[in-house]
Amino acid sequence: MKKVILNKCYGGFDVSTLVYVHYAQKLGKKLRCYKFAPTRDEDGHFNDDMYKRVDLEEALQGDNIFMTYRLVDEKGQEEKINLDSSHREDPLLIEIVENLGKEANSMYSDLKIVEIPDELVNNYMIDNYDGIETLHQKVDEY
């Protein structure tokens, strides 16, 4: 059996900041959090840097919809990470979602882990209706 993460509420596949914290820890990296905070210059044009670094406590406080995350290695190099639906089969993410339960959800998600039979591996599709996801076996269309 293979495990897959689905979102089961209106909104969409998203994880909480706490998931990013655990994910970074499991990889042995630090996490930096940035919040979307656009500013304008005196002419009214947006500045190049639209994200402001925030400390972890602030990032954990509220809505993470305007957040972006970066993993930091031992040399201080940053790498952007986005735990979106492309990670729904990631064993590390599945483990974290299982362990955190409801704390893994963002404000706009309700993540559930489903097990699919081995014969469906690489033979399924996800139907999405306003963020609510349903897994289906692929069938040939005629």
Residue 62 has pLDDT above 90, yes or no: no
Could you state, in order of their start, the residue ranges of all structural domains in the chain?
A: 2-137
Q: How many other CB atoms are found less than 10 A from the CB of residue 67?
A: 18
Q: How many other CB atoms are found less than 10 A from the CB of residue 117?
A: 11
State pLDDT tens for residues 98-111.
999 999 999 999 99
Q: What is the number of residues in the chain?
A: 142
Contact 33, 56 (CB under 8 A): yes
Which parts of the chain fold into alpha helices (H)?
17-27, 56-61, 91-100
Q: How far apart are CA 78 and CA 30, in angstroms?
A: 9
pTM exceeds 0.85, yes or no: yes
State pLDDT tens for residues 4-25.
999 999 999 999 999 999 999 9
**Distance between first and last Cα of the chain:** 29
Q: 3-class SS at 60?
A: helix
State pLDDT tens for residues 40-52.
888 888 877 888 9
